[in-house]
Amino acid sequence: MSGGHTRDARMAAPDGRGADPRRIAALGTAVLEANWRTTHTVPAPGLYPHQWSWDSSFIAVGLRRVSPRRAGQEMDALFAGQWDDGRLPQIVFDPHRDQDYAPGASFWQSTSIPGAPRHAETAGLVQPPNHAWAVWKIHQADPAESRRRSFLERSYPKLVRWHGYLTGRRDRRGSGLACIVHPWESGTDNSPLWDDVMARIPDDCRTPLNRPDLQHADAGERPSQKEYGKYFWMAERYRDHSCDDEDRDYPFLMEDPLFNTLLAVSELALADIAAELGLPAGVHRERAQRTAEALEQLYVPELGCYSARDAITGAVVRKATVNGLMPLLLPGQAHADELIATLNGPRFLGGGA
């Protein structure tokens, strides 16, 4: 900018003291409007042209301030891709954009997998379970509209099945914690938490590694070809076992504090939803408590935070990451003081630029 100014004047507040919240809100709403695709919002028209699971939940939480009805449609579109076993898939594909993202619908071939929906093409993986939390936020934004559309009545049984899948088939260690089976399920794909396990994953996948992502982002901001080879190798193996979670020799099974914290938070949201519907809520609070208690297995005192555990070896990763701070979201967090100290310490906010 001319004159040596580095601050974007378009974002300045009328009083000159900082960014104008109204302007930020308007620009954010414009992005969501531009990315709306009849039933859902895409995270990015070029790089991410399909519907992503936990992205849609976060988007819906924002949309509820503009249009609670559209926020509800966002979740309905995602629920339409639910599998018979209860899983909410990582991606619901736009069949017209298969060549624009890899691995796409032609890779997963989900409509040929037992239990997957026949009317929608999806990935077999999942993402962090923030969905019940989002549904409850949407209801709170306009309870009258929510009740008129029976939003909670429609969503509740689907969310119960989703949580049942995670606490059942995904509790591979019997520890009370759900496992992720791929870094893409974590929401923090390239976290150092996965480095040790990724080192033992082969990179000789059979799928040709076409990289449409590099048309929209610099290679330095994307995983390497070798890393993609590992990602595809795991996805191939999971797909080739019909995504059935029964592969005893599958090499990537991680208990992640972010994933399981959001499961507990969403279980508490399910309790609120059940109470609103006049259904027993105590069972959901009890399940949230059990997950919170199981998370204590992942607390690492010397790090001052939680970490991930390799469910195959039983080893807890000795690395402090943002995932390990997520249990701060849980009410009555026993290590709140330590977590806040870690957050403000040299590894995070206190580390300087």
Each residue of 17-29: pLDDT tens digit?
667 899 999 999 9
Q: Under the phi-then-psi rule, with left for phi > 0, alpha for psi from -120 to 50, and beta for the rest, what region is 17?
A: alpha
pLDDT tens digits for range 148-179 = 999 999 999 999 999 999 999 999 999 999 99
Q: pLDDT value at position 4?
A: 34
Is the pLDDT at 16 greater than 90, yes or no? no
List, in sequence order, every residue forming a beta bridge with 19; answer none if it has no partner: 12
Is the pLDDT at 231 greater than 70, yes or no? yes
Please give the average per-residue pLDDT across 223-243, as a whole number.
Answer: 96
Instruction: In whole angstroms, give the CA distance from residue 309 to residue 66.
Output: 40
CB atoms within 10 A of CB 178: 27
Instruction: List, in order of start, the domains of the chain with CATH numbers.
Output: 23-351 (1.50.10.10)
Instruction: In whole angstroms, give the CA distance from residue 118 to residue 83.
Output: 10
Please give the average per-residue pLDDT across 81-90, as a whole number.
Answer: 98
Q: The pTM is what?
A: 0.93
* 205-227 residues labelled b (16+ CB within 10 A) or e (exposed): bebeeeeebeebeeeeebbeeeb
Residue 40 near residue 56, CB atoms below 8 Å: yes
DSSP state of 127: -
Q: Give CB contacts under 8 A, 24+ apart, made by 265-268.
A: 265/130, 265/133, 265/329, 265/330, 266/129, 266/130, 266/131, 266/132, 266/133, 266/159, 266/163, 267/132, 267/163, 267/291, 268/331
